Each structure stands twice: as structure tokens, then as C-alpha cells.
Amino acid sequence: MQTSERWDAESCYRAVRSRDRRFDGMFYTAVRTTGIYCRPSCPARTPAFANVTFHPSPAAAQAAGFRACKRCLPDATPGSPDWDIAASAAGRAMRLIADGVVDREGVDGLARRVGYTPRHLSRLLVAELGAGPLALARAKRAQTARVLIETTDLSYADIAFAAGFSSVRQFNETVREVYAGSPTDLRGRRGRRSTTGTVTMRLAVRTPFAGRALLAFLAYHLVPGVEVAGPGWYARTLDLPHGPGTVRLDIEDALEPGETAFVTATFALHDLRDTAAAVERARRLVDADCDPLAVGDHFAHDPVIGPLVGATPGLRVPGQVDGDEVAVRTVIGQQVSVVGACTVAGRMVAAHGRRIDSDVPGLTHLFPDAATLATVDPETLPMPRARGRALVGLAAALAEGTVALDRGPDRDAVRTALLDLPGIGPWTADYVAMRALGHPDVFLPTDLGVRNALAGLGHDPVAVVADTDAWRPWRSYALMHLWNTLMPAVAPAPTTGPNEEN
């Protein structure tokens, strides 16, 4: 039995008997008598306890010889929030596998990014997730392939390479093994087909999901040329491993607790091999793996955050599609208003970003990459000289790999590396950890917006800030709830942190 340390077999079985959707994606149930594995909420008749085993990942169930249930589609679930809470090597590796690193760079490339030898990383992944990196990548490819088969008119050859398979034969064999059917069987008459050149997917999120609040935050931070938004949607450009792309997200509230909702994502990709990477980055952006019920339960009786959670259940921490971009934009925003920071960022995009062709009005450029910004004369940047030097120094560190924001390295090591750079202080480093690294437990005690929010709620900011350890391990969500109180209908963003240019 390969259950995680958090779940014993009896607890897992109780969740299966209750068909509790809250546990979808946290473990998987394999049934010996049928040879299939399911999500905990599968509507099929509950098997006997003696006939089931529990697995921490679809890859573990597949490695044990089970195929995916065609009724509940167990691979189409949000990921485990434990990966971001613990930020273990296995969790960091899973984020990179989902981004397609194994397909592009192999196991050696994955291990190098995480900071382990390939052999040691394989041992860690088998111990924690029940499968090695190749099996985990294979399971991810199979899931991507199934979604593309069922929702697009792409040819099977295009789907094979878009999902990351090295050959059509490998694609056919994997689909048959995992889903007990051919690609033709899966396609059938299911799903709404998209036109060739676009890929439409549904990103699973746990509920409650405060989609409108997330959209408002993203819309207020728009950088001209890179992002646009409208009622119920947000779109942006993507700088992907094999070429540029765009994504449009249709985002609404889904407030019924304990369900699985979906954010519709429409991708236009220069190279279909970037499908997995584009999907993973969109999932990061909407904080798709958050467990909002666990967050809500943690704050339920807190006198400060509890009422805010009740007013906006399912509030997410907006993530990112590119960690380097988040870091650069954070430095641009030091000691200026959000509107001012977006204007400056837009000017930099126009001057140094790469132009792309897009069918979405307003999406004209990719955000400038670190290598480009590292060569810019700080004196020419539209900001104070000290901040310009800090930005170019950061870009150089990102381009050289001294700082890596791909979620591979240990978070504490990344923070230390950031703080070693001139002009980067604790506020900037921690904000980058929250947005770029997906850290769920960041708090910014010196942030003026936090103190204004607490004072506006009638609390003593000094006393509350001194006692925020009680909010662990979800302090990033507490921070977002406080900032959310400052946001009117258009959702202005939080006040920026202290001056870190010295």
C-alpha cells in the first residue's frame, strides 16, 4: 500500500465511502477485482475494503498495473496541495514534470534543476509518489493526450507530439494501456471540438473558487502589450520553450464547497509541443491546486481572518506563468503605485519585448526575457537609477542561473540568493516567493497595505502582525484576504512594500 504519510488506509476508505470530492487528487483508489483506479468521489459502487489499494499518484496506480476509470476520469483532478505546503524535493520535481521538463531535458535535466543526482531523485519520487520520474512523466503525457483527443480535431500524430510522446507508436501503446481503449475509442463523439491551431482545456479547481476576485486582481495588474482582460475573462502572452503562445482564461465564481469546478483555458500555440507547459503555467496562475476548504477551516475561528474568509470563500493567491517576469515586475513596482508600475512595465515591453502575432486584440509582445534585460543600460530605464541597477542585476542573475525561479530549487536557497543581490530586500524576496514559487506561507509584516487593512478592520496592526504564526501554513492566503479588503470593484492591488533600493 502506497498511501502518503498524511493518509492511512482506513481514512482513505472512509473518504471513498462518502464519495468526498475534497480528496480528489490527493490519493487514488485501485480496485483489484476490476483492474481500474478511480478518484475518491467516483460514483461507481464502493468496492470492498479488502479489494482496494490506495496510491499517491496516477503514475503509481498505473505502475501497479491499473488503468484509469472511464467514468470518473481520475487523472482530471487538481493536484495535491501538499506539494506546495511541504515543498519537498518530490513536490518540486512534480511541478517541473508537469511543465514538461522530463520530455525536454530528460531525467538528468530534472535532477539537475532539483539539485539531486538522478538516482537519488528517483528514490525520493518512488518513496513519496509511488513512481519514478519517467513513469510520472508518462502519466502526465497520457492525461494531456486524452484531453486533446476528446476536445480537439487535431490529428492523432499532432496530439502525440503535443502531449510529449516521442512517437505515434508510443502514444498509441500508452493510451491503450492507461485507458483500455484506442485513441479512436476515446474520441468517439465526446467533447466540444476546437479548430486546429487552438487548444481548449478545462483546468480543474477545488471549490469554493473566488474566480471574480482572482480576475479582478489580474485585471488591475495588466501590463500593456502582454495582458488584456474583459468581463469574465483574462488573456496574456506566453513565452514557452518552443515558441510564443497566448492563453485566454474564462473565470467565474464557483462557490459551492467540496466540488470540482473548471476554468476554461483556450491556448494558441506556435508549437504544439508546448501544450503541457502552457497548461501547467495557466494552472499555476489560477492557483489550481489550492485546497480552499483546508484554508477556510484553518481560519474559521480566527478573529481577524475568519470573517474575511466567510465574506470571500475560496480566495486564491494569483500565481505566474513565468517566474522571471514576476521578479522583474516586483522590482519595477518598488515604491510606486500599481498603475505607475504597470505603465513603466508597458514601456519596457514596448522597448525590449519580442513582438508576436496574435488574434487577441492588445496582445502584441512577450515580456522581455532576463537575458535581454541583463544587457540593458540601467541609465536608460524609466525608473530611478538605483532601481534600474537592481533590475539589471537581477536579470543578470536570472540569465546566468544564479537565481532560478522555476520551482525546482529549495525555496530558502532561492530567498538567500535573492537577498544577496543589490537592491533586493525581504519584501521583494518574499513577494517573489509567494507569486513565483507558489509559497503558501508568506507574510509581509512591513507592507503598508497590510497595516492599512488591519487598521481599517479595527485591529491593532502591531499586535496582529506580532501574532501571525497562528496563521501558518496559510499566511499567503491571510495576506490576500487582507489585501482584498482594500480592493474596490475594479480591485486595486495592495500597496507596495518598503524601499529596497539601498
Q: Which three cell numbers stand for residue 311?
A: 465574506
Cβ neighbours of residue 232 closer than 8 Å, sequence gap 6 or more: 215, 250, 251, 252
In whole angstroms, what is the distance from residue 155 CA to residue 449 CA? Answer: 51
The one-character DSSP state at 194 is B
Q: Is the dihedral of CA 151, 206, 113, 372 positive or negative?
A: positive
Annotated catalytic residue 69: no
Do the Cβ atoms of 466 and 499 come closer than 8 Å? no
CA end-to-end span of the chain, whole Å?
Answer: 54
In whole angstroms, what is the distance from residue 453 CA to residue 446 CA? Answer: 13
Do the Cβ atoms of 422 and 448 come closer than 8 Å? no
Do the Cβ atoms of 254 and 209 come closer than 8 Å? yes
Do the Cβ atoms of 89 and 68 come closer than 8 Å? no
Taking Cα atoms as reference points, which of 162, 255, 246, 274 lies closest to residue 205?
255
Looking at residue 187, its pLDDT comes to 87
Looking at residue 490, its pLDDT comes to 42
pTM check: above 0.85: yes
Annotated catalytic residue 274: no
In whole angstroms, what is the distance from residue 235 CA to residue 68 CA? Answer: 33
Which residues, listed in sequence order, are joined to residue 261 by a DSSP beta bridge?
205
Do the Cβ atoms of 171 and 165 come closer than 8 Å? yes
Looking at residue 493, its pLDDT comes to 41
Q: DSSP of 242-261, one letter per residue?
A: TEEEEEEEE---B-STT-EE
pLDDT in tens, the chain (502 residues): 344 445 689 989 999 998 888 788 889 999 999 999 999 999 999 999 999 999 999 999 999 999 999 888 887 788 878 777 778 899 999 999 999 999 999 999 999 999 999 999 999 999 988 999 999 999 999 999 998 898 788 899 999 999 999 999 999 999 999 998 999 998 875 544 544 468 888 999 999 999 999 999 999 999 999 999 999 999 999 999 999 999 999 999 999 998 889 999 999 999 999 999 999 999 999 999 999 999 999 999 999 999 999 999 999 999 999 999 999 999 999 989 999 999 999 999 999 999 999 999 999 999 999 999 999 999 999 999 999 999 999 999 999 999 999 999 999 999 999 999 999 999 999 999 999 999 999 999 999 999 999 999 999 999 999 999 999 999 999 999 999 999 864 443 444 455 454 3
- Active-site option among 24, 75, 289, 447: 447
- Active-site option among 12, 38, 69, 290: 38
Do the Cβ atoms of 252 and 232 come closer than 8 Å? yes
